A and B are shown apart, each in its own frame.
Chain A
């Protein structure tokens, strides 16, 4: 079974700074998908960024980028120029498309606080 580990329960960063959230996973699959989801306080969960394991290039979405290290099974999220609106719980998630269904396996989450 796949597992996802987020070793940082909480992190703090000041506005405009850069922060990196860690995620490691365990799988024997070669083809899979990795995601970072953001859940702001009392607001709905949204997808931040997605990485397909067969793509070597790291995904980027505006201020958000990932460092995908397939051999090390590591998938960290870098947030550049942090904004107050980035305050949220961030979940790393794994999906094995070979099961035929989009079952997400979530990590335990990292609570990020961005302060002025």
Chain B
């Protein structure tokens, strides 16, 4: 299994809602990442988990809350988002936190109304 899966594919939420994005991989990778990608722009790193511990937080607002319950699963909890948070949220994983290829999921397209 060489896939990174993400659910849901699409999500529409209001500014007062609480929702979660889910990412899963079964490749035995120990590093997992969240990126935000606006239209026609490159991905921007948000968070890095290494061996289930948060290693990098790129000064992301607290309305985004990551969670890594186990080595295969990565969540992104969303609360009180703003319309400007609408974007494609990509998850990626790599074998460890060194120099290996990152495998990307298909993303969740989030719209905040």
* B8: min CB distance to chain A, Å: 15
Count A-B contacts at CB 8 Å: 54
Band of interface residues on A: 20 to 34
Cross-chain contact A101 with B42 (CB below 8 angstroms): no
- A45-B90, A45-B104 are known contacts. Are A109 and B97 too (CB-CB below 8 A)? no
Q: Could you tell me the distance in whole angstroms from the C-beta of B14 to the nearest C-beta in chain A?
A: 25
Contact A103 B42 (CB under 8 A): no
> Of residues 26 to 62 in A, which have CB atoms within 8 Å of B's CB atoms?
33, 35, 37, 43-47, 50
B8-49 near A? 1/0 per residue, CB < 8 Å: 000000000000000000000001010000001111010010
A-B contact pairs, 13 of them (CB 8 A): A35-B101, A45-B43, A95-B99, A100-B98, A101-B50, A101-B55, A101-B56, A102-B94, A102-B99, A103-B45, A106-B42, A109-B40, A111-B40
